[in-house]
Structure 1
Amino acid sequence: VLISLPSRPLRKISSIFLAEAWKKNNIEEVNTVYKKSISTLFLIGTLIYVGIIINLDNIFEIIPKYESGRNVIILIGAAYLVDMLSGTSASIISNSKHYKVLGYIMMATVGLVIITNIIFIPIWQLTGAAFASFITIVIAFFMRFLFLYFKYKLQPYFYKHFLILIIGALMLVVNYFIPENNNFILDIIIRSSVITVLFISLSYFLKISEDANKLINLILSKFGIVSLK
């Protein structure tokens, strides 16, 4: 849930622009909002997900009785990350004249939840339920993407989205080289701070998200580090 929190306000704001774009039948503007939302949401989601993964050991040192839920956290986190990768696809469909399609996809999703839970819970118990959720969200993601692609030729994904994955993976590697601290709280603070600074710096210099860079530039301008033109 923590991973998906940033998506709620952004999707609400985007929905206003999408409604206006559909009113004018401006497909190009719809695709622009689609692409920007994915870049921003996937970037934020990946940072939060990496932050959770690198601190799992510390978290379970603090609450050891929940350590059996490690795989559940990893799978549910990955599921929400896939949802962030879908950007505003649901809002695009709901604001279009084919809004009923979103209802059909939601009904199919409910069916998938039931079927996958029946299959995987008896095998892996709680982890099975998490895996079922992951599969369901991935399939729902592809259903929305494929509908928008074939119906409106919307294809928002490009190489920078792959770069986000590379940066995330690189942060997991860097995490292994950060010395451990016996104080779990202090270790969380140090580990999270190092990874956050590196992740944001790489994302900024690689210009992954136009909106994220604008926000960072605005913050830096307050300290006189950059000037806004």
Structure 2
Amino acid sequence: MGIVLKQSFTNTLILFLGFAIGGINVLFLYTHFLHEDYYGLNTFLLSTANILLPLLVLGMQHTIIKFYTSYRTKYEQDQFLTSALLLPLFIIIPLAILGSFFYETIANWLSKENNIIKPYTYLIFLTAIFMGYFEVFYAFSKIQYKSVFGNFLKEIFSRICTSILLVGVYLQWITDVQFIYAIVIVYGIRMLIMMFSAFKLYKPDFIIKFPENSKEILSYSFYIILAGSASGILLDIDKFMIPQMEQIAEVAYYAVGIYIASVIAIPSRAMQQIINPLTAKELNSNNLKEVENLYKKSSITLLVAGGLLFLLINLNINDLYAFINKPEYAVGGMIVLMISIAELYKLSLGTNGAILTNSNHYRVFFYFSIAMAISVVFLNRWLIQLLGIDGAALATLIVVLIFSTVKIIYVQLKLNMQPFTKKTILVLTIISILFLIFYSITIPFHPIVNMVLKSLIITIVYIFTIYKLNISEDINVLIKKYFRL
């Protein structure tokens, strides 16, 4: 876990900084500088592009990680990487042609409830291409076990650019409309920087010839496309469906709650950048003992880190909304709680997803993802009509709890390994006790003072308890390095 811990820690710092910048954007700049309709529109466009992303690049960002280490010669590796760059064009070009013929029909359908969407529909496709190829070039870096710069581009670069653009809107340098176009340009620039960085790390000789195992690659890519699309649906379908049933401003209110809760996923996103290719490597070598070791260690480490974030977010949520000082956005308190529970459970799965997508059982990941996507669509349609935007969060929570449990059981049955130990129960007990104790405590000062005081107390108590109980060796090493306990 040495290289995992080192790069994961660096990536975690980048993610925290990125989320801090994003938090300023989401909680203050977007809410105060950009009209809520355009904030909702921006969220809708980016979320829809994210749903399209796996299809447009044929899931190549995952295929690269899965197969690269299986090739033994430079010629084979370069042949494979060249194919990974060219194959998405066989999807992008035909879809672009079809989209131009049926553009009016597509635009009218998407803007049925909110006419503001129609003039910007084509930006969805363009943004999805930029996002998709960014991920492909990022995968080039990951297979060289260099994930930090790509993570910086993904988490910090685009958010800093967004901050500058939002300030530009406030100072009337650009309009709300120009902001929407500028965001798309930012994603295009980010893709180009990632491309140059990836080729600097390793530039393959371009060999326009498909690898001998092309059939296996295409089969894997087909399943990953559908699985990735389904995963994108699970993540973003709520922000796509809300404008079909509610006013687009509701997307803005929902997005703020989702963003706050998504902070819990930071440790997982940091660790997955490096642990996914390592898991693929061990699976390709049939080293199941090390795969299980990574599975258990990642689970407890992520649960401990996510548990602290869960407590800090949910025990400070009322003060946070009071500080934002936008009452219309404060409807998201229950959204934050439900999504943060879902995120915490996903953290406890550790490398479960990496095991499924990089093993011979990758096809079942597709079936799970499709089932999850179908379930969340039906639940969203029912629960949004019943409960509004709270219903969208509840739909996500239900699907995550059910299908995450199914994934754990499947890996246990097929590979005889599962992520949990007695320490898992201990961590959950600590989180529950601290939540119940501090939930009823209110501090009668300014919201910032309240959040700082409560966060300091919770963090000290939590870290001290985790350390003394020796829950995670990796976390204890970090604590000893930065604190004197």
Correspondence for 1:165: 428
Pair 1:126 & 2:389 matched: yes
Partner of 1:201: 464
Using CA pairs below 8 Å that are at least 6 residues apart, which structure has the higher relative contact order?
A: 1
1:97 aligns with 2:360: yes
Distance 1:139 1:113 in 2: 11
Tell me the equivalent position of 1:213: 476
1:150 and 1:70 map into 2 onto residues whose CA distance is: 38
1:52 aligns with one of 301, 308, 313 = 313
- 3-state SS of paired residue (1:3): helix
The amino acid that maps onto 1:43 is: V
Does structure 1 residue 111 correspond to structure 2 residue 374?
yes
Aligned residue for 1:16, secondary structure, equals helix
Matches of 2:299 and 2:280, distance apart in 1: 18
Q: Could you list the per-position Cα deviations for residues 104-124 of structure 1 after superposition, in whole angstroms to 9, with x for gaps in the alignment? A: 221111111111112222221
Letter in 1 for 2:300: S
TM-score of the superposed pair, with normalisation by structure 1:
0.90
Mean alpha-carbon deviation: is it higher for 29-38 or for 165-174? 165-174
2:299 maps to 38
Per-residue deviation, 1:67? 2.6
Measure the CA separation in 1 of the matches of 2:287 and 2:274: 17
Deviation of 1:177 (Å): 7.5
One-letter code of the match for 1:52?
Answer: I
Give the secondary-structure state (helix, strand or coil) at the position aligned to 2:266: coil
Report the counterpart of residue 267 of structure 2 in structure 1: 6
Aligned to 1:183: 446
What 5-or-longer segments of structure 1 have no aligned partner?
none
Cα deviation, residue 23, structure 1? 2.2
Q: Give distance in 2, aligned partners of 1:119 and 1:174.
A: 35
Whose Rg is larger? 2
The structural deviation recorded for 1:179 is: 6.1
Cα distance in 2 between the residues matched to 1:139 and 1:177 = 30
**Equivalence for 2:333:** 70
CA distance change for structure 1 residues 151 and 176 in 2, over 3 Å: closer, same or farther? closer
Instruction: Point out the more displaced range, 38-47 or 65-74.
Output: 65-74
* Deviation of 1:173 (Å): 3.6
Where does residue 192 of structure 1 map in the other structure?
Answer: 455
RMSD: 1.7
Select between 160-169 and 17-26 the one with higher mean Cα deviation.
Answer: 17-26
Q: Which moved more, 1:11-20 or 1:145-154?
A: 11-20
Q: Deviations over 1:64-85 (max 9, x none)?
A: 3333221111111111111111
Q: Is the 8 A contact 2:348 2:419 kept in 1?
A: no
Partner of 1:81: 344
TM value normalised by structure 2: 0.44
Q: Which residues of 2 match residues 115-154 of structure 1 at below 5 A? A: 115-154=378-417
SS in 2 for 1:4: helix
- Distance in 1, matches of 2:441 and 2:385, equals 39
Q: Percent identity?
A: 31
Q: CA deviation at 1:156?
A: 2.1
Q: Is the 8 A contact 1:178 1:191 kept in 2?
A: no
Residues 338 and 393 of structure 2 are in contact (CA less than 8 Å); yes or no, is this contact kept in structure 1?
yes
Contact 2:318 2:333 in 1 (8 A): no
Separation in 1, partners of 2:328, 2:395 = 24
Secondary structure of 1:215's aligned partner: helix
Distance change (3 Å), C-alpha of 1:178 and 1:75: closer
Report the 3-state secondary structure (helix = DSSP H, G, I; strand = E; otherwise coil) of the residue aligned with 1:97: coil
> How far apart in 2 are the matches of 1:182 and 1:218?
34
